[in-house]
Structure 1
Amino acid sequence: MKSLALPPRNIPGLALVFIGRNSHGQWVAQEQNGLYGGLFVSRAEAIKYALFENGHHPEAIVELSRTIELDADGRLAPVGLLFASGRLPVA
C-alpha cells in the first residue's frame, strides 16, 4: 500500500471514499459523508464502485485497516482523527 498526500481540494465535489472490511468480512465502500456506499463480495468490486461513484479519482480512495461498517447516517469519524499524519494510504 502506498501513501499519497491528501486529495486536491480544488476539484468540486471530490470527497474521500473509504473501503475496508466490516465485522462480517464483507467489503464496504462508503463516501466520507455517507452520501453513498455499499457492501461488496471483493475488494476489487468495492474499488470499482468507489471509482465509478467518485468520477474516477483513485487519489480519493482510502483503504482502512480497521473495521468499517456501512453507515447510512454519515457518522464516519472525521478524516483528521483517522489519519493524524496527514498522509492517506491509497488502494
Structure 2
Amino acid sequence: MNLVEPPSCHIVLIGKNSRGQWVARERDGLYGGLFVSQQAAVRYALFENHHHPEAIISLATPLEFDVGTTISAAEGADIAQPRRAA
C-alpha cells in the first residue's frame, strides 16, 4: 500500500446530511454549504479547493453542516438583555 502525502489545499468532505440534502464542508469547518445535487456540491468543492479533486472525500455516513456554535437558552437570554453597569 502506497501512502500519498496530503495535498497542500483544503480537504473538502461531501455527503448527505440526516435530511437527505447534499453537504460540502471543509474538513475544519472553514467553509461549506448545502446543495441540491451531488454534482453541485462537487463543483463547489473544486472551486473552493482550487481544482484539486484528490482533496475531495465522499462520505457514506451522514455529514452535517454546522454554521455556528449552539447557544443555550440561558446564554441567549443573557445576550438579549443589556447589562447595567454596577
Give the structure, 1 or 2, with the largest relative contact order (CA under 8 Å, sep 6 or more).
1
| TM-superposed deviation, 1:46 | 0.1
- Greater radius of gyration (CA): 2
The answer as to whether partners of 1:34 and 1:73 remain within 8 angstroms in 2 is: no
State the match for 1:54 in structure 2: 49
Structure 2: give runs of 5+ residues left out of the alignment: 70-86
The number of aligned residues is 67
Structure 1 runs of 4+ with >4 Å offset: none
| TM-superposed deviation, 1:6 | 5.3
Is 1:24 matched up with 2:19?
A: yes
Tell me the C-alpha RMSD between the 2 structures. Answer: 1.9
TM-score, normalization: structure 1? 0.67
Question: Identity rate of aligned residues, in percent?
Answer: 58
Aligned residue runs from structure 1 range 6-17, under 5 A: 7-8=6-7, 11=8, 14-17=9-12
Structure 1: give runs of 5+ residues left out of the alignment: 75-91
Structure having the higher helix fraction is 2
TM-score, normalization: structure 2? 0.70
